[in-house]
Amino acid sequence: DSGVTQTPKHLITATGQRVTLRCSPRSGDLSVYWYQQSLDQGLQFLIQYYNGEERAKGNILERFSAQQFPDLHSELNLSSLELGDSALYFCASSTGRSGGYTFGSGTRLTVV
C-alpha cells in the first residue's frame, strides 16, 4: 500500500456520461497530481493542486476538471465522456517540493 488511495478501482460507463474519480493523498502530502495513462500516449500530466489551489496544468481537456478539498483529498471530474477517454487515471501525492511522488493504484475507466 503506497498510502495514496484512489477510488473506484474500476469504472465502466457510457459515452456522454460524467464520472468522478477520488484520491486521498499520503498523510502530510499537500500536493496532488493527476495523470492519464493510455497505451498510445503513455503517462500524461493533467493537473496539480497544492494545498487546495491549482498549481500547474498539463494536457487536460476542457471537459475535465479537478479540485482539492480542505481535507486535501482531490476529485477529478470527467464529463461528456468519449471512447478515447478510456484509460488508467492515476493520482500521485508529494510534499510539494522536488522529490519524487507516490502514486496510487489507479482507476481504470472504460467508456463504452
Partner 1 sequence: QKEVEQDPGPLSVPEGAIVSLNCTYSNSAFQYFMWYRQYSRKGPELLMYTYSSGNKEDGRFTAQVDKSSKYISLFIRDSQPSDSATYLCAMSNSNSGYALNFGKGTSLLVTP
- What's the rounded Cα separation, in Å, for the pair 56 and 54? 6
- Minimal distance, residue 44 CB to partner 1, in Å: 8
Give the one residue of 17, 43, 51, 84 binding partner 1; rule: CB under 8 A: 43
Cis before 70? omega within 30: no
Q: Which stretch binds partner 1 (CB under 8 A): 18-26, 38-46, 63-71, 74-82?
A: 38-46
Give the one residue of 42, 62, 70, 71 binding partner 1; rule: CB under 8 A: 42
End-to-end CA distance of the chain: 30
Please answer whether residues 4 and 104 qualify as being in contact, where contact means their C-beta atoms are separated by less than 8 angstroms: yes
Q: Which stretch binds partner 1 (CB under 8 A): 14-22, 60-68, 72-80, 91-99?
A: 91-99
- What's the rounded Cα separation, in Å, for the pair 80 and 17? 5
Give the one residue of 24, 48, 68, 74 binding partner 1; rule: CB under 8 A: 48
Please answer whether residues 76 and 34 qualify as being in contact, where contact means their C-beta atoms are separated by less than 8 angstroms: yes
Binding site for partner 1 (CB under 8 A): 2, 4, 31, 33, 35, 37, 42-45, 48, 50, 55-56, 58, 88, 90, 94, 96-106, 108
